[in-house]
């Protein structure tokens, strides 16, 4: 039976069980007066009536409410419910605002299904409907792997390697694989072991570290590409590779010997770079000097040939005179380079003329002659004039060229030599 069922012999029922016959019954008046003074009773009755809405009836069997003396507040419960609903809506809308950082992207799922990706800044979502997961797309993340690995020459080496990656697709990063970090670690471990197994232990420890790193990065990228993990490999760092502790000392000796070898090679190359340019310069200088000497000899020979060609007619005209002149000119060139002359007057005895000593004595005499002349002039007023040959010898210079017909009297040394130069100049 409805709480406000019309009829019932002209009596309407209200939620509080009072009759509304004429609107001024004594019971109603009494209930209004009591309801105005008892606020607790009002809320208690409201709660009871709201609970009775689901039960179907809120009064007694005669259609009369047990509380016929209660106030008619039929609209108060609706207002409170509306206010409560409005407050819930406001709180629900306020809780939907969120902020995405500059280095992140927000992945929105609606009822668990991917919806869209939001950019950094202030955004809003319907709470309990959409869910936002922030994914860092700017930070470079690290992932390391290490362990004992088998090489191509069946040796065991301990390898530590680090991979740096960055998220480029937030949707694929969250939904393509269950655990992107674990999947990447497994792929990296597989790639490293595969690459290490292609090289010998010596190359891994010494020369081919860069090759191993590049090959590992290439294999890792090819491995994760079909899974669409939404990440990009930034770099792979080959941090450490060392042999087992039992053979570490022997490998250290090998590495030291290899370093010494490289140092010796570098020193030899430095010495070669220093010596080779100098040797090449000296060789080029010798070549140029030889070429210049060749040119001078050729020109000199041509000059002598031209001189001989001019002298040939004279020789044909006067052979004896020309032969004597050539002999004298040759002796002049030879004797001009020596300070001693050996003279032979066609006898068994030979005379050596010490020209250098004679020249020194003559220079000393010429320097002391003025002083002696001054002293003699003051002591003796008159002196005997020298003879003609003595005067001639005193005025002659041993350095006079031999082409002049002169006679030298070297009486001071006790040696007399006569040289005469004849011939047609």
The separation between the first and the last C-alpha atoms of the chain, rounded to the nearest angstrom, is 173
| 149 neighbors 192 (Cβ within 8 angstroms) | yes
| 355 neighbors 398 (Cβ within 8 angstroms) | yes
C-alpha R_g of the chain: 67
What pLDDT score was predicted for residue 54?
44
Q: What is the mean pLDDT of each run of 10 residues along the chain (425 residues)?
A: 49 48 44 49 64 45 45 61 88 90 92 91 91 91 88 86 92 90 92 89 81 91 92 89 81 83 93 92 94 94 89 86 87 74 62 69 78 60 44 43 39 36 34
**Length of the chain measured in residues:** 425
| 177 neighbors 229 (Cβ within 8 angstroms) | yes
What pLDDT score was predicted for residue 312?
86
Residue 412 φ/ψ, nearest 5 degrees: -65, -35
What pLDDT score was predicted for residue 302?
92
What pLDDT score was predicted for residue 379?
53
pTM (2 d.p.):
0.44
Q: Count CB-CB contacts under 10 A for residue 163.
A: 23
Sheet with 130-136: list strands edge to edge: 113-118, 104-110, 130-136
CA neighbor of 110 nearest in space, from 129, 128, 95:
129
CA neighbor of 409 nearest in space, from 421, 398, 393, 423:
393
CA neighbor of 180 nearest in space, from 195, 191, 161, 165:
165
What pLDDT score was predicted for residue 359?
74
| 220 neighbors 163 (Cβ within 8 angstroms) | yes
What pLDDT score was predicted for residue 110?
92
């Amino acid at each position: 039976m409805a709480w406000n069922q019309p009829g019932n012999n002209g009596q309407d029922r209200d939620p509080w069980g009072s009759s509304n016959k004429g609107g001024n019954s004594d019971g109603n008046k009494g209930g209004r007066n009591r309801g105005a003074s008892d606020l607790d009773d009002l809320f208690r009755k409201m709660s009871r009536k709201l609970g009775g809405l689901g039960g179907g009836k809120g009064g007694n069997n005669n259609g009369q409410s047990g509380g016929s003396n209660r106030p008619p507040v039929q609209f108060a419960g609706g207002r409170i419910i509306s206010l409560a609903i409005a407050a819930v809506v406001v709180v629900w809308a306020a809780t939907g605002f969120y902020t995405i950082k500059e280095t992140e992207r927000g992945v929105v799922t609606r009822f668990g299904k991917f919806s869209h990706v939001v950019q950094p800044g202030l955004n809003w979502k319907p709470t309990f409907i959409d869910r936002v997961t922030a994914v860092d797309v700017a930070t470079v993340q690290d992932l390391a792997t290490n362990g004992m690995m088998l090489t191509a020459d069946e040796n065991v080496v301990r390898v530590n390697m680090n991979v740096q990656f960055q998220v480029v697709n937030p949707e694929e990063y969250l939904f393509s694989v269950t655990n992107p970090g674990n999947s990447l670690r497994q792929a990296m471990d597989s790639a490293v072991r595969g690459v290490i197994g292609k090289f010998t232990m010596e190359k891994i420890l010494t020369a081919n570290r860069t090759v191993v790193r590049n090959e590992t990065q290439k294999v890792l990228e090819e491995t994760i590409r079909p899974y669409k993990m939404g990440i990009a490999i930034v770099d792979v760092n080959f941090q450490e590779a060392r042999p087992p502790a039992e053979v570490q000392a022997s490998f250290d000796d090998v590495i030291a010997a290899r370093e010494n070898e490289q140092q010796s090679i570098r020193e030899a190359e430095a010495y070669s770079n220093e010596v080779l340019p100098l040797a090449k310069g000296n060789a080029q200088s010798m070549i140029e000097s030889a070429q210049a000497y060749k040119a001078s000899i050729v020109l000199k020979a041509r000059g002598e040939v031209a001189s001989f060609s001019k002298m040939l007619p004279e020789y044909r005209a006067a052979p004896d005179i020309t032969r004597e002149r050539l002999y004298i000119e040759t002796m002049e060139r030879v004797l001009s380079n020596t300070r001693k002359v050996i003279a032979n007057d066609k006898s068994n005895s030979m005379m050596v003329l010490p020209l250098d000593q004679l020249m020194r004595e003559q220079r000393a005499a010429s320097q002391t002659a003025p002083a002696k002349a001054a002293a003699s002039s003051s002591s003796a007023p008159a002196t005997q004039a020298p003879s003609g040959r003595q005067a001639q010898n005193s005025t002659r210079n041993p350095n006079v060229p031999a082409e002049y017909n002169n006679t030298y009297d070297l009486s001071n040394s006790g040696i007399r030599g006569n040289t005469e130069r004849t011939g047609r100049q």
